[in-house]
Structures are given as structure tokens and as C-alpha cells.
Amino acid sequence: MNVLRDIDELPRGLRFVLAIGTFDGVHRGHRRVIEALTRGATELEAQPVVLTFEPHPASIVHGTQPPALCDLNERLARLERLGVDTVVVQHFDSAFAEQAPGTFLERLCRGRQMVGLVMTAESAFGRDRSGGLTAIRELAEEFEYRVIEVPQISTAGSVVSSTRLRGLLAEGRLAQVNRLLGRPYAVVGNVVRGDERGRELGYPTANMEFAEPVALPPDGVYAVRVSWGGDDPIEPANERDGVASLGVRPTFTDTGARILEAHLFDFKGDLYGQRLRIEFVRRLRGEKRFASADALIRQMDRDSARAKAVLGSQRR
């Protein structure tokens, strides 16, 4: 895949079809857009190009960064697997946000031939989101591109969107999140040193640190699959089943800081500094305070046995 960092880096003379969006999560709705992109590119004998953004446009437009459903590396890898040849990861700032739709399209088409633009009914770009479907249709004759409209996917009366997925995840509706994503939900971060209390209890854990805010389910204990190593951000080289705790660890600290830590079954080794992918399979219970370390250990034994049963049953 060819990854560019600005739309001005697109080659002169390029004949292309474009899809624009953050594509956070690359969920089922996004995949429908990408399928329309690659199909349109084939029909129009052009290259499929995706324009995405970093940071998230909401961090500039609204001043808040939504928690990510997947990091940039995974986003790019999933787009590549869907057949995208070129992705522009555009730096998004206030100047870029203030461009009028016509100005933006003129910049895109300068010295190039954009023959198709993929849009949904909710798609919009440019100043104050003024480049919606109606405006884009009006500009199509001037810039000589075909508008490829994509019907959105809806379930239970609501459109499949990243915003909806974040809400469902925060509510703990993990099975529904996984259905809308089309895969189990996972987060990726780096393993950092903690207080090593888990090791003292007989359950050493990998403590996670994230480079950006990530969307997380409610606090509790989860059956998880943990993977790391290799060059593929979607399917790392090594995998172990495990059990993860998400929360403030009220038995010992209760500082209010949420911590995600995972214990890997049948693993001995050093994971410090590794990029770890934690896939949430099922929530086992909520977080609770225990009267003693021994009581916590007994519960951890039960949690581990249940996680092994859950994960084992899914492999049969």
C-alpha cells in the first residue's frame, strides 16, 4: 500500500476514485463504502484512493478527541486487505477544516483526474460540513466526476457508525459491538511496568499503556485473547488465551485511574515494551473490592477457570 501524508502528494496524472472518512474501526458500514470504492475504480479503470485524517477531525472542530476504535496501523492494514491501493493520511487542522468544498475539490483535481467520489447520505466535508451529497452532486459537472452513492447499513433502526459503536461498547454490549464490527473488538497498546502486585499474587499481568484515548468496555474481568510480535498489526505472530482486568483495582489502590492488565495463560517471558493486542471475548463479571488478598486470589482462580472454558468452547 502507498501511504501519503498530504493530498498534494497524490501523483500528477493520477486517474482515481476517492472515498473520504475517518474510518475509525473499519466496521461493516465502512466496508460497504470501500467495496463501492474498489468496484467503482474497476468500472472506471481508475485507482481506488482513501482520504483519512489524523488527528480525528472532531478534536479540531469540537475540541474533543473521540476514543479510538482502532489505531492508525490497524486502520491502514484493514483498508489494504479490502483492496485499497493508496491512502492519504491527511493532517487535519483548522485551516484544512475551513476549506470550501469547491476549493478542496479543485486542490484534489489539480493535475489529476478524479473520476468518481464515493458518498453516503450522511457524508459531508468542507467548511461547516457544507460539502454534503447535494452540494457534491452540483459540483460533479464542473469537476467531471461520478457521484457513487452508497446506502448505509442500519440495524435496529439505527445506522452502523463509529459513534454508535462507542456508545454500545461503553454500555457493555460487547456481542452487538462485535456483530457491527464484523469481528471481536480489540485494543492495542504497549506493555509498561506496573507495581507487580499480580506477580506477588501468582498472576503476573501485562499492564497496558495507550498512545491515544481508546474506547473501552465497562470495568470488570474479561476472557481475552492476547497477541503480539511480527509485522502484521491484525494478526500478530504470537497468541495466548488469558483473562484481563479493567478498572481501578479497588482492593489495593482505588486511585480512580483506569488500568487494563492481562494475565496470559501458560506463558513465561518478558513482554515489557511489546505492542500487545487484547481481544475482548466475553465479560465474566464486574469489578469488586475484596476483603483480603487471599479472597482475591480465590476469585482469580475462578475467573481463570471460567475464561479457559469460554475460550475453549469457542474453538470447538
Contact status, residue 193 vs residue 146, Cβ threshold 8 Å: no
Report the largest interatomic distance among the alpha carbons of the chain, rounded to a whole angstrom: 73
Contact status, residue 90 vs residue 125, Cβ threshold 8 Å: no
- CATH 3.40.50.620 placement within the chain: 2-156
Torsion of CA 289, 294, 297, 303, to 10 degrees: -60
* Residues paired with 188 in a beta bridge: 277
State CA 39 to chain mean position distance.
24
pLDDT for the residue 289: 82
CATH classification number, 2-156, choose in 3.40.50.300, 3.40.250.10, 3.40.50.620, 2.60.40.1190 = 3.40.50.620
pLDDT for the residue 23: 95
- CATH 2.40.30.30 placement within the chain: 185-313
CA proximity to 184, closest of 151, 220, 226: 226
Q: Which three cell numbers stand for residue 177?
A: 459491538
Query: Between vectors from CA 208 to CA 253 and to CA 27, what angle results, nearest 5°?
Result: 125
pLDDT for the residue 159: 85
Distances from the Cα of 193 to the Cα of 149, 225, 248, 258, angstroms: 49, 20, 16, 15
CA–CA separation, 304 vs 201, rounded Å? 13
Q: Which three cell numbers stand for residue 25?
A: 474501526
What do you get for the CA distance between the two ends of the chain, in Å? Answer: 36
Per the listing, cell 478534536 goes with 59
Query: Between vectors from CA 212 to CA 65 and to CA 173, what angle results, nearest 5°?
Result: 75
CA–CA separation, 192 vs 211, rounded Å? 12
CA–CA separation, 218 vs 49, rounded Å? 36
pLDDT for the residue 170: 95
Please tell me the chain's helix, strand, coil percentages from 3-state DSSP, rounded to the nearest 5: 35, 30, 40
* pTM of the shown model: 0.90
CA–CA separation, 227 vs 239, rounded Å? 4
State CA 199 to chain mean position distance.
31
pLDDT for the residue 307: 95
Enter the CATH code of domain 185-313: 2.40.30.30
Cβ-count burial of 152 within 10 angstroms (0-12 exposed, 13-18 middle, 19+ buried)? Answer: middle
- From first to last of its 316 residues, the chain has per-residue pLDDT tens of 999 999 999 999 999 999 999 999 999 999 999 999 999 999 999 999 999 999 998 888 888 889 999 999 999 999 999 999 899 999 999 998 899 999 999 999 999 999 999 998 888 888 888 888 888 999 999 999 999 999 888 877 778 899 999 999 999 999 999 999 999 999 999 999 876 666 666 688 999 999 889 999 999 999 999 999 999 999 999 999 999 999 987 666 656 678 999 999 999 888 999 999 999 999 999 988 887 878 888 989 999 999 999 998 876 5
pLDDT for the residue 91: 94
